[in-house]
């Protein structure tokens, strides 16, 4: 900016011109415009665009806020960029005059030019930060999970592509990670979820293979201790924190043996049928693949035999291992949750004791919290 005393008026060949020495504002204004452009590019590229970014999508409210911030930030950026460049240009050595019959005017740069550019620059950067945070906050919720409070470690999640989710899911929708998370919630263990992007095969990369050599999820890091396979992880934490939360392992040697027995039944009799049913009825349609209807019917017939055994067991027991909720029940819940979203639910509802058992399981606070985390209706 300039005052009148810094401006010289020269006349040459009947042409009157305003001239003055270049001020520091020229370099400062130009540098500010360049740095503003760099900041805007970093914020936009770092956040990713709405249409091509990968990973968990933000909630509807965050998406709207992000879109507003994106549009307004680019508007303020353009205005601030032009103001700063204009201020710099008008502080160069010469400026054209505005001549009238009896007067002339020299253009000078006032204080408001750079003040306006500075304020708009700050607004642009602030909106860019909000835009980045809104689009990337959900990315930090899935993948490798670290238990925080009780000196825990981490659990590798994943981003599956199955049923409908609510507005603000954490994408903990895979059955095996759910088994571990449900254990955390029942045992009141604090944890952190770190995203593993299954869409880009991040689970097959060397860093994750150090945790899980088969390239699957979940896997945990508890300090220097690493462990994979959801059932082993759940038993590990249920044992490590046996003095807090729900007792999942049983109260006596005999009770623990019964818990282990029915937990093994889940692995060898129930899940071997439930998983391919869920795969065909839920996952394949989401991936655009064809369901093997013949196989599903065969599996349902076999599952019916297993459910009859469960029905008889639950006729004389509140839960599978007795009168208390244990790991034997917990380990069934993720796959059961998906089966109940298919027509298999009629097979469960037709069995009075199984239906009573499932309703009691899904009424537990830990399950409701897990369903909310996953974006499903509890």
| pLDDT 10s digits, 248-272 | 999 999 999 999 999 999 999 999 9
Task: Quote the pLDDT of residue 200.
Answer: 77
- pTM of the full predicted structure? 0.59
Residue 323 has pLDDT above 60, yes or no: yes
Separation between Cα atoms, residue 218 and residue 198, nearest integer Å: 12
Percent with pLDDT over 70 in the chain: 63
**Could you tell me the CA-to-CA distances from 219 to 203, 216, 226, 245, 369 in Å, in that order?**
10, 8, 7, 22, 21
Cα angle 41, 42, 48 (rounded to 5 degrees) comes to 90
Burial 173-201 (b: 16+ CB within 10 A, else e): bbbbbbbbbbbbbbbebebbbbbbbbeee
Q: What are phi and psi of 15, to 5 degrees?
A: -110, 120
Give the model confidence (pLDDT) of 10-46 as tens digits.
666 565 666 655 556 556 666 666 766 776 677 666 6
- Given a contact cutoff of 8 angstroms between Cβ atoms, the answer to whether 54 and 197 are in contact is yes
CA nearest to 228, candidates 215, 211, 240: 211
The highest-confidence range among 14-23, 214-223, 236-245, 286-295, by mean pLDDT, is 236-245
E strand residue ranges, 20-153:
94-95, 97-100, 103-106, 144-146
Q: Give me the pLDDT at residue 47, please.
A: 56
């Amino acid at each position: 900016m300039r005052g009148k005393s810094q401006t010289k008026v020269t006349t040459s060949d009947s042409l009157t011109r305003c001239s003055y020495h270049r001020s520091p504002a020229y370099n400062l204004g130009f540098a500010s415009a360049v740095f503003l452009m760099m900041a805007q590019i970093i914020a936009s590229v770092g956040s990713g665009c709405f249409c091509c970014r990968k990973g968990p999508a933000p909630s509807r409210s965050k998406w709207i806020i992000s879109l507003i911030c994106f549009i307004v930030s680019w508007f303020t950026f353009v205005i601030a960029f032009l103001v700063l460049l204009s201020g710099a240009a008008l502080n160069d050595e010469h400026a054209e005059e505005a001549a009238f019959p009896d007067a002339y005017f020299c253009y000078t740069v006032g204080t408001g030019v750079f003040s306006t550019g500075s304020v708009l620059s700050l607004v642009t950067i602030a909106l860019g930060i909000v835009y980045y945070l809104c689009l990337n906050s959900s990315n930090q919720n899935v993948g490798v999970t670290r238990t925080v409070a009780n000196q825990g470690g981490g659990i590798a999640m994943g981003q599956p592509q199955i049923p409908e989710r609510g507005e603000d899911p954490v994408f903990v929708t895979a059955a095996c990670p759910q088994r571990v998370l449900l254990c955390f919630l029942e045992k009141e263990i604090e944890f952190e979820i770190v995203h593993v992007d299954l869409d880009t095969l991040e689970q097959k990369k060397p860093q994750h293979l150090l945790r899980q050599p088969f390239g699957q999820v979940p896997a945990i890091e508890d300090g220097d201790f690493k462990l994979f396979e959801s059932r082993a992880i759940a038993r590990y934490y249920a044992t490590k924190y046996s003095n807090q939360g729900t007792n999942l392992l049983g109260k006596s040697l005999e009770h623990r043996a019964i818990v282990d027995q029915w937990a093994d039944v889940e692995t060898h009799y129930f899940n071997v049928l439930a998983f391919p049913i869920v795969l065909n009825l839920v996952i394949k349609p989401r991936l655009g693949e064809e369901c093997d209807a013949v196989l599903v019917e065969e599996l349902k017939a076999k599952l019916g035999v297993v459910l009859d055994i469960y029905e008889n067991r639950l006729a004389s027991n509140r839960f599978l291992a007795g009168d208390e909720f244990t790991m034997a029940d917990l380990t069934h819940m993720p796959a059961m949750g998906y089966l109940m979203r298919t027509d298999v639910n009629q097979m469960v509802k037709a069995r009075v004791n199984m239906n009573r058992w499932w309703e009691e399981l899904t009424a537990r606070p830990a399950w409701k919290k897990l369903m909310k985390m996953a974006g499903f209706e509890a």
